[in-house]
């Protein structure tokens, strides 16, 4: 595991975009695993800048996101599809048919989970998976629990995750209570993993990287993966 520490969030974002950009240059038709949330926004901005400057080309890239809320269609402003459109897809030359997230509007989340796991598999697996980390150590929507979920699956969100995410909704009651997420097993199959953690996540990051590997700190499982890069920063 490589842990890189930058001075601040701007540098963290620039470094993350450099590593993702390098992946695009090395393998233009790569599969990128993407994350939503506050942390990767700066890296997405840098990737957009790289595209506008003519340094990056997304025309062959394929993407699979980690997760999506259940009950929100892709047009809903709080859906993760909408987030990806806003921060990356609509601003670069990626083909929409090459971008994938679980379908939040699917009537049967179990069936949607099976479809999404098979889709990731059929794409030949993920070359580079971008991750954030929750304050409770979650990755994707894999919350602390007594096992590591192996495959894509529906989850009931914990109270703390609903509260953390409510900052983006008008009212806490509007936050969906369910999501479909890649499992820990799905995430670990990625050939490379890039975990971004801002200064506010230093305590949980420390615990995940140096503590015991346990499903009660889901990100601790990354200690078992052979190619993980972590970027963190000293100040916001
Ligand atoms: C997002 C995701 C989550 C976030 C995590 C950190 O697709 O799966 O695990 O990465 O909740 O979120 P932020 O970056 O908002 O602190």
If you write DSSP's letter for every residue of 96-113 in order, what string do you get? GGGEE---TT-S-HHHHH
Q: Could you tell me if the CB of 139 is within 6 A of ligand 1? A: yes
Q: What is the CA radius of gyration of the chain?
A: 16
Asked if the model's pLDDT at residue 124 lies above 90, the reply is: yes
Stretch 35-49: mean pLDDT, rounded?
97
pLDDT tens by residue, 196-234: 999 999 999 999 999 999 999 999 999 999 999 999 999
Domain that holds residue 137: 2-233
Neighbours of 52 (CB within 10 A): 11
pLDDT tens by residue, 51-78: 999 999 999 999 999 999 999 999 999 9
Dist. CA 115–CA 84, nearest whole Å: 20
Residue nearest atom 10 of ligand 1, based on CA coordinates: 132
DSSP lists the bridge partners of residue 178 as: 156
pTM greater than 0.95 (yes/no): yes
Asked if the model's pLDDT at residue 177 lies above 90, the reply is: yes
Determine the distance separating the centroid of ligand 1 and the alpha carbon of 53, expressed in angstroms.
Answer: 28
Determine the distance separating the centroid of ligand 1 and the alpha carbon of 80, expressed in angstroms.
Answer: 11
Task: Count how many residues are written for the chain.
Answer: 236
Q: Could you tell me if the CB of 102 is within 6 A of ligand 1? A: no
Residue the block writes with tokens 């949330």: 37
Burial class (CB in 10 A: 0-12, 13-18, 19+), 25: exposed
The residues carrying an active-site annotation are 67, 136, 138, 143
140 torsion bin: left (phi>0), alpha (psi -120 to 50), beta (else): left
- β-strands 67-69, 178-181 pairing: antiparallel
Asked if the model's pLDDT at residue 168 lies above 90, the reply is: no
The total of structural domains in the chain comes to: 1
Determine the distance separating the centroid of ligand 1 and the alpha carbon of 38, expressed in angstroms.
Answer: 7
Determine the distance separating the centroid of ligand 1 and the alpha carbon of 226, expressed in angstroms.
Answer: 22
Ligand 1 binding pocket mutation candidate from 132, 166, 175, 202 (most atoms within 8 A of CB):
132
Tell me, what CATH number does 145's domain have?
Answer: 3.40.50.1360
Stretch 141-169: mean pLDDT, rounded?
91
């Amino acid at each position: 595991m490589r842990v890189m520490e930058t001075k601040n969030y701007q540098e963290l974002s620039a470094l993350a975009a450099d590593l993702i950009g390098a992946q695009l240059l090395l393998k233009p038709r790569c599969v990128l695993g993407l994350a939503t949330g506050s942390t990767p926004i700066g890296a997405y901005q840098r990737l957009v800048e790289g595209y506008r400057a003519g340094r990056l080309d997304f025309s062959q890239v394929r993407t699979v996101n980690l997760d999506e809320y259940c009950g929100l269609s892709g047009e809903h402003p709080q859906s993760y599809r909408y987030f990806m459109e806003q921060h990356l897809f609509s601003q670069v030359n990626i083909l929409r048919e090459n971008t994938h997230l679980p379908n939040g509007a699917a009537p049967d989340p179990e069936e949607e989970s099976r479809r999404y796991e098979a889709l990731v598999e059929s794409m030949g697996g993920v070359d580079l998976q971008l991750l954030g980390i929750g304050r409770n150590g979650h990755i994707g929507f894999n919350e602390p629990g007594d096992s590591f979920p192996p495959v894509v699956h529906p989850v009931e969100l914990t109270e703390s995750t609903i509260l953390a995410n409510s900052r983006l909704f008008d009212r806490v009651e509007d936050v969906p209570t369910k999501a479909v997420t890649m499992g820990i097993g799905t995430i670990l199959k990625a050939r490379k993993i890039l975990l971004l953690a801002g200064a506010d996540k230093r305590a949980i990051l420390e615990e995940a990287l140096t503590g015991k590997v346990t499903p009660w700190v889901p990100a601790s499982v990354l200690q078992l993966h052979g190619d993980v890069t972590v970027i963190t920063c000293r100040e916001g």
